[in-house]
């Protein structure tokens, strides 16, 4: 069971935006990138992807991950971050 705050909502639900507001933003953003979700079925558990699952996944991401990314602080004295750490280790041995 996911952790819930005293308000009864999970931490990723604290953004203040409703599902409908997030869906509108997600659809507008995807449209600006040339992605058209209207070609997918609305909700079909047999399909590899449908609009309902894609929007739910995007809402979960937007309600949880951006705050974590925004709170990240890079240590100026630490090693530089590597996009592909396994390749970076080969160069830094």
Summarised one tens digit per residue, pLDDT across range 61-71 is: 888 887 777 78
Pair 54, 38: CB distance under 8 Å:
no
The stretches in the chain having pLDDT less than 50 are 1-13
Q: What are phi and psi of 61, to 5 degrees?
A: -60, -50
The pLDDT score that the predictor gives to residue 17 is 82
Pair 50, 41: CB distance under 8 Å:
yes
The pLDDT score that the predictor gives to residue 43 is 82
C-alpha–C-alpha distance, residues 76 and 68, integer Å: 19
Considering Cα of 55, then 71, then 18, then 30, what sign does the dihedral take?
Answer: negative
The pLDDT score that the predictor gives to residue 29 is 92
In the 8-state DSSP scheme, what is residue 52? H
C-alpha–C-alpha distance, residues 65 and 84, integer Å: 20
């Amino acid at each position: 069971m996911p952790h819930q705050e005293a308000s009864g909502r999970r931490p990723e639900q604290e953004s203040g935006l409703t599902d409908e507001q997030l869906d509108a933003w997600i659809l507008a953003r995807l449209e600006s990138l040339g992605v058209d979700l209207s070609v997918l079925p609305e909700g079909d558990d047999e399909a590899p992807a449908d609009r309902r699952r894609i929007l739910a996944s995007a809402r979960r991401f937007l309600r949880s991950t951006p705050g974590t990314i925004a709170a990240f602080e890079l240590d100026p004295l630490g090693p530089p971050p590597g996009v592909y750490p396994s390749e970076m280790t080969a160069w830094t041995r």
